[in-house]
Structure 1
Amino acid sequence: MTNDPFSHHPELAELITRPEDSFFRDFSINKLENILIDRGLPTGWWHTDEHRNSIREEALTEHRSEDLWIFAYGSLMWDPAIRFTEVRRALVDGYQRRFILKDIHGARGTREAPGLMAALDAGGECEGLAFRIDMEAIERETDILWRREFIGPAYFPVFVPAQIGEDTVNALTFVADFDAELIEPELSRTEQLDYLANGSGFLGYSADYLRNIARQFRLLGIEDDEVEGLVRELNQLEK
């Protein structure tokens, strides 16, 4: 195997944030709390470190004896924060990307002006990227990954078959937790576009989140009608 993690997709080398440059590489509850206090936003809604680590330990119990694949379908595709040895285009059957995560905690929206992000839900299929983590780095890198994805309730971790070229691997991904306040599966198109157009926070604009997904897909030749439709309608709304 080549030492270049981008050997299969050199076009992504300049479009995926280097781990050392990622906002999330040293993300923590303390860092988040300071940001929210500075912005006058509510605090205390997150998981404790102990609870978050218990979720991670349970998810990885039988998955530490070989390299670990992570399936990314949202912002992990351009800012995973983890050190990976390989990135590949991947397809997961039986799950679909849906824009049903209503951000109200300050990342890309607030309660007064919610933002919108994607979550994985059952049904259909989903294309994205898969990142390989070296077995010796699983503990360190998944700790960073969990602090990125599991600060508060929104997802739960599952392992899914991901097709990468001619091969199928067992990949970790993050699926919508319908008991979480942030997950709203019945959002109308009008609500989705409103949140995309107006949501913003310390991670940036919801509109940029959507367009970053579309950018990665165009480079990879991935056709996603939902993403392209939302981009098109958002562009029309902003004219």
Structure 2
Amino acid sequence: MDSSHTDFVFQNNVADSGSDFWVFGYGSLMWRPGFDSAENIPALLTGFSRSLCIYSHVYRGTPELPGLVLGLNSGGFCHGQAFRVTADNRLPVMNYLREREQISGVYVEKWLTVELADGRDVEALVYVADPLHKQYAGGLSAEDMALLVRRASGQAGPNRDYVANTARHLQAMDIWDERLEAVLKLLDNHTD
């Protein structure tokens, strides 16, 4: 048994090795999860809110001109998508998510209760921003966020494209994020 499996089993009583488990997506995981799920349903997470609170030094920025990507800050609520992963898919999905979400350690794995659109409450794996990490960018104003986003570009392209694409996907899912929309409006109203 590899150490990632051991850590997963012992750190999480909710999703032991013999059962399905849930993953909560609040950004690109919602429309590009990258793994198969047995069920996919809108969900609400209470106690955390979506925010451009993570400095991106590679994909949407550089160390000299960092961009911003989404994370979850403590407080508020967040509408997202929950994915049920079958037990037989557990290890590949956990390995994939850890490789995708924990490259720099800025996201912390938490098991939190989310309310599914059909009224069920389930425990889900959620990636939350670590406010003590050097890439944490919490507390920025919409104006400061827009300034960083406007100037940044990384391996995956301009940071502005990331923000606009995220807002469009959320709108298509009938999710309106006021903070993200405020940043996008400032970007749209700015002339270079």
Question: TM-score scaled by structure 2?
Answer: 0.88
Deviations 1:59-98 (A, max 9, x none): 4454133211111112212322222222211111111112
1:238 is displaced (CA, Å) by: 4.5
> Does 1:86 find its partner at 2:39?
yes
Number of equivalences:
189
Question: Which residue, out of 220, 223, 227, partners 2:173?
Answer: 220
Partner amino acid, structure 1, of 2:111: F
> Does 1:202 find its partner at 2:163?
no
> Does 1:184 find its partner at 2:184?
no
Q: Could you list the runs of 4 or more consecutive aligned residues of structure 1 that deviate by over 3 angstroms after TM superposition?
A: 52-62
Distance 1:196 1:77 in 2: 21
Partner of 1:20: none
Distance 1:147 1:155 in 2: 11
1:193 is displaced (CA, Å) by: 0.6
Partner amino acid, structure 2, of 1:90: A
1:208 is displaced (CA, Å) by: 2.0
Distance 1:213 1:228 in 2: 10
- Please, which runs of 5 or more residues in structure 2 have no aligned partner? none
**SS class of match (2:35):** coil
Distance 1:55 1:214 in 2: 35
Distance 1:61 1:238 in 2: 52
Partner of 1:6: none
**Where in structure 2 are the equivalents of 1:1-239 lying within 5 Å?**
56=8, 58-60=10-12, 62-64=14-16, 65-104=18-57, 106-165=58-117, 166-238=119-191
User: CA, structure 1 residues 132+192, in 2 after alignment: closer, same or farther (shift >3 Å)?
Assistant: same
User: CA, structure 1 residues 62+87, in 2 after alignment: closer, same or farther (shift >3 Å)?
Assistant: closer
Asked whether the 8 Å contact 1:56–1:146 carries over to 2, the reply is no
Distance 1:61 1:133 in 2: 16
- Please, which runs of 5 or more residues in structure 1 have no aligned partner? 1-49
Deviations 1:2-48 (A, max 9, x none): xxxxxxxxxxxxxxxxxxxxxxxxxxxxxxxxxxxxxxxxxxxxxxx
**SS class of match (1:113):** coil
Distance 1:182 1:88 in 2: 31
Asked whether the 8 Å contact 2:53–2:73 carries over to 1, the reply is no
User: CA, structure 1 residues 124+100, in 2 after alignment: closer, same or farther (shift >3 Å)?
Assistant: same
1:54 is displaced (CA, Å) by: 7.2
1:170 is displaced (CA, Å) by: 0.9
Partner amino acid, structure 2, of 1:97: R
**SS class of match (2:143):** helix
Question: TM-score scaled by structure 1?
Answer: 0.72
Once the two structures are overlaid, the 10-residue window that deviates more, 175-184 or 190-199, is 190-199
Partner amino acid, structure 1, of 2:182: G
Asked whether the 8 Å contact 1:107–1:202 carries over to 2, the reply is yes
